[in-house]
Amino acid sequence: MYAAATGGILARLRSIPTRVYVPNSIGNTISVIDPATFKVIDKYSVGIEPQHVTPSRDMRWLYVDQGNTGNLTVIDPRTGKIAHIIPNVTDPYNLYFTPDGTKAVVVAEDNKRLDFRDPVNFKLLKSVTIPWPGVDHLDFTADGRYLLASTEYSGMVVKVDTVAMKMVSHLYVGGKPIDVRLSPDGSVFFVANQWLSGVSVVDPVHMKQIKFIRTGLGAHGFAVSRDAKLFYLSNRIAGTISVLDPFKRIVLKTWKVGGSPDMMQVSPDGSQLWFSNRFDGYVTVLNTKTGAIIAKIRTGASPHGLCYFPQPGNISLGHNGVYR
């Protein structure tokens, strides 16, 4: 599933300056980091409570998801500056794009909805009510026909038909499910569970949990290694990163990193793992071979869904950068 993201950056993106965009949720700002120097080179205000910086499906734009503003702030990655604002996008806590490119999926967490919208003008196509609180993160099946979404405050994961735009099934996994990631072979989903301190392996066809992998306190967010052979998982309360084998479905090693690791991105060459520290106001850069800390970069209050851009891959499925 991640084969296109294991190679080089698309030719049309190679002239874009490489930057890491960090939304500071309490500070209401975006910090822009040059990854070559580990320095913050720009910082600007956006709407209230920016949560994630999301690449558009075609990787032309970066969207700042601002749940409490009802707008999307649009960044032009060629300049690193704000290009314009898209108004009247209700409660955009998170943002995804269907693999076929026909729909944007706005995660309206506070409104308990997934809003399917036109991916160009963001006009509403249909709202899907999620009858449990905290709809949060999601990923798509291999064929893109369905998505699996977590509901953080209910312990449920829900399966939604992306064509009919309706919920078709659900599964109780307990705890506080957060990030969701499709396995490299497309057969199962991995669901990070912050309260249960591990990962539920979910069969999306039969909607059953087939395994639980214990990792560390506060299991939160995933990143895929550049060769797609490993998954990295942040354990936000433990202050650790677990390295998982998604084929054997086991933990290979755990790195003690301190802080409160949250959302993550891998550098284009695969040598570095970047992650925000949600409660500590800085970003950490880690060596993916040794787990050694390379840098700590002070950003702002409550850094969240950072976006390292551009990245290898043919399309972006959204979030803070999930590529296929």
User: Which pLDDT value is given to residue 44?
Assistant: 96
pLDDT band per the 50, 70, 90 thresholds, residue 68: confident
List the structure tokens of 39. Answer: 């320095």
Q: Distances from the Cα of 177 to the Cαs of 50, 72, 187, in angstroms? A: 21, 25, 19
> What's the mean pLDDT when you consider all of the chain?
97
First to last CA, the chain: 6
- Any residues with CB less than 8 A from the CB of 9 and at least 6 apart, and which? 268, 310, 311, 312
CATH class of the structural domain 3-309? mainly beta
Average pLDDT estimate for 77-81: 97
CA distances from 56 to 60, 247, 322 (A): 6, 29, 11
The domain ranges of the chain are 3-309
**What are the pLDDT digits (tens) for 163-205?**
999 999 999 999 999 999 999 999 999 999 999 999 999 999 9
pTM over 0.85: yes
Show the CA angle centred on residue 291, arms to residues 226 and 218, nearest 5°: 90
pLDDT in tens, 107-124: 999 999 999 999 999 999
Instruction: Report whether pLDDT(22) > 90.
Output: yes
pLDDT of residue 69: 84
Return the pLDDT at 67: 83
With beta carbons less than 8 A apart as the criterion, state whether 310 and 77 touch.
yes
For 120-148, what is each residue's pLDDT tens digit? 999 999 999 999 999 999 999 999 999 99
Note the pLDDT of residue 130.
Answer: 98
At residue 216, does pLDDT exceed 90? Answer: yes
